[in-house]
A = this chain, B = another copy of it.
Amino acid sequence: MPLAEVLLALELVGTFAFAVSGALLAAKKGFDIVGSLLLASLAGLGGGVIRDLVLGYGPIAFHAPLYLVPVGVAVLAVFLRLIQEDRLRRTLLAFDAVGLSLFCVMGTFIAFQAGLNPVATVLLGVTTAVGGGTLRDIVANEVPQIFNPDGVYAAPAFLGAVATTAALEWGLFNAVIAVVVAGLVFAVRIMALRFGWRVPLAELPRRSRGA
């Protein structure tokens, strides 16, 4: 199967997953279906729109209406309760994790294709991965996942972007690698949630230097 088709499929699946997370958040907050559509669009397309603005492309969603299909399907699936939040509030986080893992690979790949240097490639990959979810949470007036101390969020996306960049620089990138890296990012994110993994806080605990 050619690379281009696999990557498009991954991007559409990632868009769907993030869009579901947006529609579930809209349902949780009691928004109406138009708010659901907006939040699903922001979550599903926001990361890619930021990426494309940074690269100076017109946003993909406006030129390729295909990307609106997974958003519409996601909103409908949540509206009909085909997908709904479970009691442990894990459904939203699971879909968000799928989007995060696919978008960190795709964002990194597209940044590489645009000719950015490796540091910028990693940075834009992470931005693409966390951008949509962060916009979703800001607009819905939630504390963005990226700041939530219950489990690491940006760190797995960062590792995925580094792995993808390395594969691209060394000429090893292909559809299998893309799926494997995304799968690992997803696994790290879910295990972090399950086992309560943490990264250090923004500053060392007081007295840690003097004692």
Contacts and interface: CB of A to CB of B under 8 A. Distances in A.
Given A140-B147, A203-B79, A204-B81, A153 B120 contact: no
Interface residues of A, number: 64
Contact of A32 (B58, B138, B201, B208): B201
A154 B30 CA distance: 16
Contacts of A34: 146, 152-155, 158, 199
B31 A120 contact: no
Interface stretch (A4-12, A21-29, A166-174): A21-29
A116 B79 contact: no
Nearest to A158: B34
* Number of copies of this chain that the complex holds: 3
A153 B158 CA distance: 35
A70 to B, nearest CB: 14
A93 B208 CA distance: 25
A78 interface: yes
A27 B31 CA distance: 27
